[in-house]
Every structure is written in C-alpha cells, then in structure tokens.
Amino acid sequence: MKTMRSLLMAGTVALVAPLAPAYAAPPADTLVVGISADASTFDPAAISSRDNSNMAKHIFGTLYEIDPEGNIVPQMAASYVEAEDGLSYTYTLNSGLTCEDGEALTAEDVAYSFNRAGDPANAFTGNTPGFVYSSIGFDGAEAVSDLEVKINLSKKNPVSFGLIAEVFVHCKDSYEAMSLEDAAAKPVASNSYRLASWDRGSQVVLEKIKDPGNFQNIIWRIIPEASTRSAELIAGNVDIITNVAPDQLDAVNTSGAATVKSVQGTRRIYVGFNMKESFATGSPGGEAVQKTDVRVALQYAVDVEAICSQLLNFECKRATGLVNPPNDNPNLEPYPYDPDQAEALLDAAGYPRGEDGTRFEITFQAPRGRYLNDANVALAIGQYLDDIGVKTNVELMEWASVYVPLIQKHDVGPMFLLGSGGGTWSPLYDMADLSAVGAGTNYTEWQNPDWFSGWPEIAAAATPEDQRAVIDRMLEVFYNDPPWLMLYFQPDFYGVSTRVDFEPRRDEKVYLFNVALTQ
C-alpha cells in the first residue's frame, strides 16, 4: 500500500517533464492564452464553467459587470433603479448598441435574453438559470421602452444586483431564428469579439469587431497538461497560461521569457457528498454519506494543509464552509486532521472495519486538468480515506465533455471533487450556491431546513447586523451538517509572457480587453 507521504511526493514530480512545443510565436495583433479545459457550449444560457464564461464574456455583454476591485460598474446599461420592495430592477441601456450582424440591441433584446434563459422549454442548466435565477427568484423581464428594461423578481435578495450582472445579453432576432444546437456552436456576438472558429479540444479563435480590445485576435488554446502549458509559454508560443503547476514555478520564473503572477483566488475547492436518491440507494458508500455523522467523520480524515503545501506549493488554512475570508464565520475553527477521531466517529456511526479492514467502499469522481493539480489532489484524498478503512475508488474524468454534463445533472458521485467560483464582495454571493433546495448549483442536493429557512430571514433583516447574525447561524449549520468535505480556497498561478502586460484578478475572470503589448 502506498503511504500518504509517498503519494504526496509523487504528486510533486508527476508534471515535471514538458512536452515539445509545436506552435509558432503569435504575431503582434494576436494574443494567445493557454487554458486547461475547452468550452462545452457557447449558448449564453447554458454556460456553467469559468473557463467557458471567460471566453464568452468577450462575445457577450452584460448590463453591469464586476471590476477587479469588486465594484459593480456599468457596461451595456448606463444606470438602474431598484424598486422600493426590492422585487424589480429597471435598467436604462446605452444608446447605439448593436450585435455582430448589425441588429440594433434594445430593451426588447435584453428582456428576450433573460426570458430565454429561464424558459423551462429550453431546459437550460447553466450559470444563469441554475445559479443566478434560483438565487434571485427571477420572475420575467419586460421592455418598458426602447432603452429601459425591467427585471422582475419573486423574492428580495440583497445581492440580486450583483447576480444580474452575470447574465449574458444577445440579440433577439438572430437567436429566435436558431436551433439550440446552432446557438451552442454559432453564437452571434453582442460584445467586442465574435467567434471566428472553434476547433474542439484544440482552440477557440475570437476576432475583434468593435472596441474595447487591443488585439485583433484572441486565441484560447486548450492545453490540458500543465507541463505542456509551461513549455509553450517559455517557448514564446503563448502569452498567458492559467494554473501553472507548482513544480513549474521556478522553470517559468527563471526562463527569462515569462514570470508567474500569483493571487489568492476565491474558488472554493471541496469534495461534495451527493445526496440524490439514486446515490443514497445505489451503493453502500452512497448510503453511508447520507448520514451527518459519517460526513463529519470524514472531515477529520484528510490532511488539507499537507495537500496545500506538498501538492499546491502554498500554505493554506482549511475552509470552515463555503464563504471566502474575511466574510466567513469567525467563530468556526477548521476541522483538524485527526485520523484516530475519524475512525472513532465511523465506529460510533455503525461502520466498523471488516475483516479485511474495510468499513465501506465508495466511488470518488474528479476532473483531470480543470483545477490546480486536481488529479493528484483527488488521488491523495482517496488515499487518506483508504487509510481509515473507507475503500475509495478514484475515477478521473475529462472536464468539458464528460464531467460537466454529470455535474449539471447532479449525477456525479457519490463523492466528487469540484471548485465553485466565489467572491469577496458579499458573503451572500458565496452562499447563493445553496439558495434553494432545487438550485442548479446545489450539486449535492442537500436539504437541511435550518439552512434554507435562513434565506427569508436575510431578506427581511432590518439592519446589516441582523443580517450578519443570520449568516453566521447558517454557516454554523453548514459546518455541523456538512454537505461538503471542506478543503481550501485555491491559489491562482498565471504564467505571463514578457511580451504582454496582464494583471490577474482574484476571481478567476480572465478578461483580456485591456491587455496590451509591453512598451
């Protein structure tokens, strides 16, 4: 049997040897970005992952957007008015907006964009219907005038304004004429760039059609292997890469061709326990993790700090929940690494070791190449669980075409590795992953009523202090009945060529409009 130390050390050397680059250096009018995962769709209502959304943001505009400092600032809209009861927002658009095909973009188009995403007949499961709409209680959009659009809500949520800023806007006529299949592969742009080509699994090419934007072409190259991304950056074939592997940091920094820029990211990395009925009855392991006592026991089994230091090359403090510091509950302490306690709690929960040392067997699914060193993180977690008698079968999967569809349908598990994007502008943004039992982002299908009953209280809170008390109480519920095996907030390492000026953001939004060649 492998020891945890040998597995962790193996993880630090698995990505050392780069592959030979096969591309030429980009011309002056072209920016090339190397990312780990392909887009799965370009239908604005179906997009669910950050890499996919980063590409799409250059194609589609939004009413407002969140800047690098966390401020919510205008983009396609010039201003807005919130109703006194908090159940509608009316936006005034900028004049002269158009789409790629020359169609004028008016309030009717904005209303159509919002309503199309929420239409049950389309069965969309992307970020807009699955996260934004379930959080704000979207209740339809309507054009008030050519330049005024009203977004109606069924419930008040203090972060509705920021969530509405995530909804992509497009033109009505072009999308009414398209099938869903065409909309997924042939987007009609409303922002600065159009989709020029999409060679699936290889690259996405965007072509500039209007300002802002300093490059005529942006190429997103799909390079799953971290060592290959680093080799291509050092060779001068790409300008920016995401998720530089920890063992590649020195090679990039000493290359003379590029440097690593690091930020403390806001993405919550966790192991989810799927409580969907099919998993609860489908296997002994799936049945076991339905029990709070078992999920608590497993928190003690994993040495998160060792994973951070040895596999990710940074020192971390384990998460206590789903909210980024400093907005988390300050009264909660991270679960410590204590395998003896994990074993005692599993014994007490009715899962003693059998004659072969196994308590129960479980499948743990994880993506390969989506998050920082994710495959080795998943293997290490599997080994930690093996060590306490939970026989863990780790299944590593391709992200875009295999893992994402399973996640969207809540069919991954019974245990699964996932990273959920977060923010620092409000704790409620992070908590909105679990805005309702039926929320698309409630991937575990957790149903604790003490959590979900807190949302009406937050909406009704008279003061920020009253609201904060409810937030802290809800976070304590999450901690004591954890639907997640809590891990860490992912650090982000970007490799940046000396050819370009690029400053990364904490929220993983790779927006390239202002990137320029170095002077």
CATH of the domain at 371: 3.10.105.10
Output the DSSP codes for 104-162: B--HHHHHHHHHHHH-GGG---SHIIIIIIHHHTEEEEEEEETTEEEEEESS--TTHHH
Task: Specify the pTM.
Answer: 0.83
**Is 476 in the same domain as 500?**
no
pLDDT tier for residue 25 given thresholds of 50, 70 and 90: confident
**Is 274 in the same domain as 408?**
yes
**Is 391 in the same domain as 478?**
yes
Given 178, 212, 241, the domain boundary residue is: 178
**Is 289 in the same domain as 254?**
no
Structure-token pair, residue 349: 């929960």
Q: What is the pLDDT of residues 304-336, one digit of tens each?
A: 999 999 999 899 999 999 999 999 999 999 999
**Is 479 in the same domain as 402?**
yes
Predicted pLDDT of residue 15? 38
**Is 284 in the same domain as 409?**
yes
**Is 270 in the same domain as 260?**
no
Instruction: Look at residue 149 and tell me if it is in a domain.
Output: yes
Mean pLDDT of 492-515: 96
Instruction: Look at residue 81 and tell me if it is in a domain.
Output: yes
- Does 16 score more than 70 pLDDT? no
Instruction: Look at residue 118 and tell me if it is in a domain.
Output: yes
- Alpha-carbon distance 392 to 360, whole Å? 9
CATH number at residue 74: 3.90.76.10
Predicted pLDDT of residue 24? 82
Given 135, 161, 178, the domain boundary residue is: 178
Q: Which residues contact 424 (CB under 8 A, 6 or more apart)?
A: 70, 266, 324, 326, 327, 506, 507
Instruction: Look at residue 50 and tell me if it is in a domain.
Output: no
Predicted pLDDT of residue 1? 45
Instruction: Look at residue 54 and tell me if it is in a domain.
Output: no
pLDDT tier for residue 425 given thresholds of 50, 70 and 90: confident
Q: What is the pLDDT of residues 345-370, one digit of tens each?
A: 999 999 999 999 999 999 999 999 89
Percentage of the chain exceeding pLDDT 90: 89
**Is 134 in the same domain as 228?**
no
- Does 172 score more than 60 pLDDT? yes
Q: What is the pLDDT of residues 441-481, one digit of tens each?
A: 999 999 999 999 999 999 999 999 999 999 999 999 999 99
Number of structural domains in the chain: 3
Domain coverage including residue 119: 61-178
- Does 7 score more than 80 pLDDT? no
Predicted pLDDT of residue 4? 61
**Is 331 in the same domain as 247?**
no
pLDDT tier for residue 23 given thresholds of 50, 70 and 90: confident
**Is 315 in the same domain as 437?**
yes
Instruction: Look at residue 167 and tell me if it is in a domain.
Output: yes
Predicted pLDDT of residue 18? 42
Q: What is the pLDDT of residues 249-269, one digit of tens each?
A: 999 999 999 999 999 999 999
**Is 355 in the same domain as 255?**
no
- Alpha-carbon distance 451 to 435, whole Å? 9
Instruction: Look at residue 56 and tell me if it is in a domain.
Output: no
Given 178, 204, 231, the domain boundary residue is: 178
Antiparallel, parallel or unpaired: β 500-501 and 516-517? antiparallel
**Is 110 in the same domain as 228?**
no
Instruction: Look at residue 53 and tell me if it is in a domain.
Output: no
